[in-house]
Structure 1
Amino acid sequence: MDLARPAPGTGALHEPRRDDCPWCGSPRLRVRLRTADLIQRKPGSFTLERCADCAHTFQNPRLSAEGLDFYRQGSGRQDLGHRDFWRQDLCRGLGGGATALLTRAGAGRARSLAGVRALSRFDEPESWLDVGTGRARFPAAAKDVLPYTAFDGLDSDPALAEGARRGRIEEAHRGRLTDLAGNLAGRYDALSMIHYLQRRPDPRAELRAAATALRPGGHLLIEAPDPESRSARLLGKWWASYRQPRHAHFVPLVNLCRELDELGFTVVDVDRRAPHVPSDLGAACALLLNRLLPEADAPWRAEPPSRSRLTLRRTAWWAAWWAATPLLALAYAADVLLAPLLTRTGFANAYRVIARRERDA
């Protein structure tokens, strides 16, 4: 899509609204929140609805293929995988150095290692497929714990090639898991989906594909935002894990465990504390500030500003961001200091599930 012109009536970027829950089929839907694109600030409005019967939360109406393309672009780096894109998108869209502390690269690595260690208690896999791997940072970190495991990566993003080129993965599968699962049937002892299901149009199809790619006795590792987190209810649209419009589904933990059971898995470990990313307050402040500050320019505006006005806007924008750095740092410090309490009182923002594919599945 051409970003040098305004979006052609952003309603055209959505599919028709559905009247029932995509998880259980119930017509009892309630609006959970309405929001805009708080990171890239592209035009459009997005609605998340919650099923009153199964508590599944989903984007309704969801983006069309054209809409996904429009809202995916604009960061200036289209060669990034989703996980890398989130970090780059947040820094560029929310003010560079002022929000670099919110990306939590070091904490992300620690969380990755924690997930690998949790799975290694049940198995020491020979082969592992990381789905949605991006630049394969997760396999690179996981090798510190499992140096004898062969890690492969799967993604539809061009960034996958960089992960293979740097030796982070042994084999790169370009495409979608739902399309490639047949070719990968029974090939892997372990498969990971780290913050992956929430951005797929059909999470159930992804779980079925994962069951196909795993060998009997293999383990599935899933991390995802927890829609039942008290932080989500407290912060509303400023909860960074909502990340509209890019996240389409938020699966409650109980729904995920039931689905895995029906697919022939046995859930062997659940953790609603360790996967928490201590950044909710800091990210909420950054999103709010990004929303309040005027933009210097955007490629989807009808007319660009003059050079002098653009320079003035950019200077004011950066000055405001750096002036807000102490506030962001304070919010970040509160996130870190309060994390032990928050994770014990229902405010953790993510969960982890490890499930074993039974041999008679």
Structure 2
Amino acid sequence: MPDSERIAELRPAYREELARGTGRFFLPPRTDCPWCLGPGLRRKLRTTDLIQGKPGEFVLDECTGCGHVFQNPRLSQDGLDFYYRDFYDGLGAETTAKMFEGSGSRKRFRASARALRRLARPRRWLDVGTSLGHFCATAREELPDTAFDGLDLGEGVELAAKEGRIEQAYRGLFTELAQGMAGRYDVVSMFHYLEHTPDPHGELVAAHAALAPGGHLLIEVPDPESLSGRLLGRYWLPWFQPQHLNMIPRRNLCRRLRSLGFTVVVAERRDAHIPADLVCAAWFLFDRLLPRDDAPWRAGRPGRGARAARVALVWAALPFLLAVYGLDRLLNPLVRRGRFANAYRVIARRDG
């Protein structure tokens, strides 16, 4: 079915849902930090959904005590369901698959698998937040004797098992399923997953339960202390509103892992950096000037003239966007080694 027909088919359901307003998508705002429970909060930024363009306004607050950055007020379960819909599956499934199958993603996946391989030879590996299982498929090239399983909330994890990228699919919440996996895994990985969760501490506890003693937890997350985030403000891609609920400074994560019975063996930024900050910021700025594209959460399909103008302007801007993308790549060797890196990696060993 062409996208225009699928969008038209979905529009009545979105229209009905939005007619009830977006206020129910949010929980009451917090007055303390969800990480350290400290009372000192300050506004970090206010933004909109720059990725899909769904309606709503989102606020990130920062704890003045520990530096934790979090969405406040946070999305309710209804809100999470609404803003995730048609992003990783449905209308967005094809785009997501292309992103994870791209050479940049595969390169980072291989680097992560090699970093773990230098520490251990795992027999069983659980990838939490696996989506369509593309990390597992790439990591198997580096670790052919490892059995990879995946866990996620969406239907993509079942598709990943069906298509052979993982062996076993778990669909549900890690915090609810982990006790049934007690000590089963040599590695648990969380690639850009922890920032999506309402309770990161609970996810770390779940990882400790699922790991065998001596097993490793591999985490990659955006770095809220990145200087790129300060420079680019609301147009910095890793803020990724409204999906990113909690952004954890590296020192906070390492301290929490130690308190839960882990030994941190790797904590670095270099290989976790994704060289796309400038080109994404350029696109977000440019997209504000364009006629809106068609989407089921918009009131109606744009007219033919608006659609033609959008296509023409995107093609006209393409050389500029490619040049900015090239600048991201050119600066990558320097950026990834310093405080402008946009993400970090931690590998911790379960004690005992």
Q: Counterpart of 2:267 in 1: which secondary structure?
A: strand
- Runs (5+) with no aligned partner, structure 2: 1-11
Cα distance in 2 for partners of 1:178, 1:85 equals: 28
Tell me: CA distance 1:86–1:46, structure 2 relative to 1, closer, same or farther (3 Å): farther
How far has the Cα of 1:338 moved from its partner?
Answer: 0.5
Partner residue, 1:276: 273
- Is structure 2 residue 311 aligned with structure 1 residue 318? yes
Q: Counterpart of 2:347 in 1: which secondary structure?
A: strand
Give CA-to-partner distance per residue, 1:263-319, whole Å, 9 cap, x none: 1000001111111011100011111122221214443344x25xxx62111111111
2:143 maps to a residue whose letter is L
Tell me: CA distance 1:79–1:218, structure 2 relative to 1, closer, same or farther (3 Å): farther
TM-score by length of 2: 0.92
Q: Counterpart of 1:246 in 2: which secondary structure?
A: coil
- Is structure 2 residue 154 aligned with structure 1 residue 157? yes
Percent identical: 51
Q: Counterpart of 1:30 in 2: which secondary structure?
A: strand
Number of equivalences: 340
Partner residue, 1:136: 133
- Is structure 2 residue 197 aligned with structure 1 residue 200? yes
How far has the Cα of 1:76 moved from its partner?
Answer: 9.3
Asked whether the 8 Å contact 2:71–2:245 carries over to 1, the reply is: yes
Cα distance in 1 for partners of 2:95, 2:238 equals: 14
Give CA-to-partner distance per residue, 1:71-96, whole Å, 9 cap, x none: 12245943877xx76567xxxxxxxx
Asked whether the 8 Å contact 1:7–1:43 carries over to 2, the reply is: no
> Aligned-residue CA RMSD in angstroms?
1.9
2:134 maps to a residue whose letter is R
Aligned with 1:2 (options 5, 13, 28): 13
Tell me: CA distance 1:104–1:156, structure 2 relative to 1, closer, same or farther (3 Å): closer
Aligned with 1:126 (options 109, 114, 123): 123
Cα distance in 1 for partners of 2:245, 2:342 equals: 17
- Is structure 2 residue 23 aligned with structure 1 residue 11? yes
Partner residue, 1:66: 78
TM-score by length of 1: 0.90
Partner residue, 1:353: 346
- Is structure 2 residue 61 aligned with structure 1 residue 49? yes
Asked whether the 8 Å contact 1:133–1:154 carries over to 2, the reply is: yes
Asked whether the 8 Å contact 2:131–2:154 carries over to 1, the reply is: yes
Partner residue, 1:183: 180
Tell me: CA distance 1:79–1:166, structure 2 relative to 1, closer, same or farther (3 Å): farther
Cα distance in 2 for partners of 1:329, 1:269 equals: 34
- Is structure 2 residue 245 aligned with structure 1 residue 233? no
Asked whether the 8 Å contact 1:296–1:310 carries over to 2, the reply is: no
- Is structure 2 residue 29 aligned with structure 1 residue 32? no
Aligned with 2:289 (options 273, 288, 292): 292
Asked whether the 8 Å contact 1:134–1:155 carries over to 2, the reply is: yes
- Runs (5+) with no aligned partner, structure 1: 89-99
Q: Counterpart of 2:151 in 1: which secondary structure?
A: strand
2:108 maps to a residue whose letter is R
In terms of fraction of residues, the more helix-rich structure is 2
